[in-house]
Amino acid sequence: MKTRTLGSLSVSVVGLGCNNFGMRCDQAATQLVVDAALDSGINFFDTADIYGGTKSEVFLGQALGKRRSEVLIATKFGIKIDDDRPGGARPEYIVQACNDSLQRLGTDYIDLYQIHRPDDTVPIDETLGALRELVAQGKVRELGCSNFSVAQLRAAAETPGPRFVSVQNEYSLFQRQPETDGVLAECGATQTGLLPYFPLASGMLTGKYRKGQPLPEGTRINAESRWLSEEALEKVEALLAFAESRNHSLLELAFAWLLAKPAVSSVIAGATKPEQVKANASIASWEITTSTLATIDKLLS
Which residues are tagged catalytic? Answer: 51
Q: Are 266 and 12 in contact (CB under 8 A)?
A: yes
Q: Using DSSP, state whether 201 is helix, strand or coil.
A: helix
Query: How far is Cα 202 from Cα 116, in angstroms, rounded to an integer?
Result: 19
Cβ-in-10-Å burial (0-12, 13-18, 19+) of 216 comes to: exposed
As a whole number of angstroms, the longest Cα–Cα distance in the chain is 57
270 strand-pairing partners: 17
Considering only CA atoms, which of 183, 181, 179, 126 is closest in space to residue 156? 126
Considering only CA atoms, which of 120, 53, 55, 59 is closest in space to residue 82? 53
Rounded to the nearest 10°, the torsion over CA 100, 74, 69, 92 is -30
Phi then psi for residue 32, to 5 deg, are -65, -40
Can you give the length of the chain in residues? 301
